[in-house]
Each structure stands twice: as structure tokens, then as C-alpha cells.
Amino acid sequence: EKQLAEIQLSLEQLTLKRDSLRKSVESHRALISPARRLPGDIIQEIFLRCLPSKSNAVISSREAPIKLTQICSAWRDIAVSLPPL
């Protein structure tokens, strides 16, 4: 019974460690996403094309250009550096 309890405790600890490692892997997958490898000038062009063509952009956290600044700090820097945005 004692050995079984020790094995069960070890299994629970390993399961927690595995879950923690999975979360870490998932959080780091974003770092290798294709969007992060796009050149800045391409991202700028995408941002400019997100703007409405028939009216002024609405200042809303749900729409471009504000939404674009919330993706990551690199995208925020690009969006803020573009005068049209």
C-alpha cells in the first residue's frame, strides 16, 4: 500500500509537470508563427489595407487600426509608426 501511494504521488507530480510543460509549449508556439516572420513593410501594407476606404476609421478597440495595436508590441510599434494609422 505504501509503494502504491508513493507511485500514485509520483504519477500526480509528473502529470502536473507535463501539464505545465504543455502550457509553456503552447505559449511559445506564437513566437514561431508565420505572421512573426513577415517583413515590416508587408505588415505595414496589410495594416493600411485594413483601414476603411469609404470613411474614416472608427476609434474602437474592435476595429482597425486600434485592434492591430493590441496583437503584440511589434505590431503596435509598426502601427504607431504609420502616419495614416
Q: Please give the chain's pLDDT, 85 residues, in tens.
A: 999 999 999 999 999 999 999 999 988 887 787 877 888 889 899 888 887 777 666 676 777 777 878 888 888 898 888 887 7
Cα(47)–Cα(66) distance, rounded to whole angstroms? 10
Q: What's the pLDDT at 16?
A: 97
Cα(73)–Cα(69) distance, rounded to whole angstroms? 7
Quick one: the chain helix, strand, coil %, rounded to 5? 70, 0, 30
> For the whole model, what pTM was predicted?
0.52
Q: Please name the amino acid found at residue 75.
A: W
Axis-axis angle for helices 40-50, 73-81 (nearest 10):
70
